[in-house]
A = this chain, B = another copy of it.
């Protein structure tokens, strides 16, 4: 089971609405069950450095079936996964904004958001994830 482009677009629309609501332009990316990009949008005025980060947050969330915020807690110095950000050719993001997408209890992909504070990124990703 994976998601379609139509699914990805509807997830992005929900995230985009949340970003507009909080007034922070974002990069939003969705990957499928294989961790491969399905769609990405950069809202007008969103940081160009966040293009790569949004895509990588989505990849990371699906790669480990975990929110990047939670992975981050385990990846600080002296924690069990410290150093994981050096793996996977720089694609592992260990800060908030990536969340797995699930349907009927199964992970079918992930969303990654980047463009604001960690709290904002997570909130926008959550809006997308809840829309599935």
Contact = CB atoms under 8 A, between A and B. Distances in A.
Contact of A89 (B60, B78, B90, B93): B90
Identical copies of this chain, number: 4
A57 to B, nearest CB: 9
A111 interface: no
B95 A83 contact: yes
B83 A64 contact: no
Contacts of A76: 77-78, 82
Contact of A75 (B33, B37, B39, B83): B83
Contacts of A83: 72, 75, 85, 92-95
Interface of A: 4-5, 8-9, 32-44, 47-53, 56, 59-60, 62-65, 72, 75-78, 80-90, 92-96, 117-119
9 contacts: A5-B42, A34-B48, A37-B40, A39-B40, A48-B62, A49-B63, A50-B63, A81-B95, A83-B95
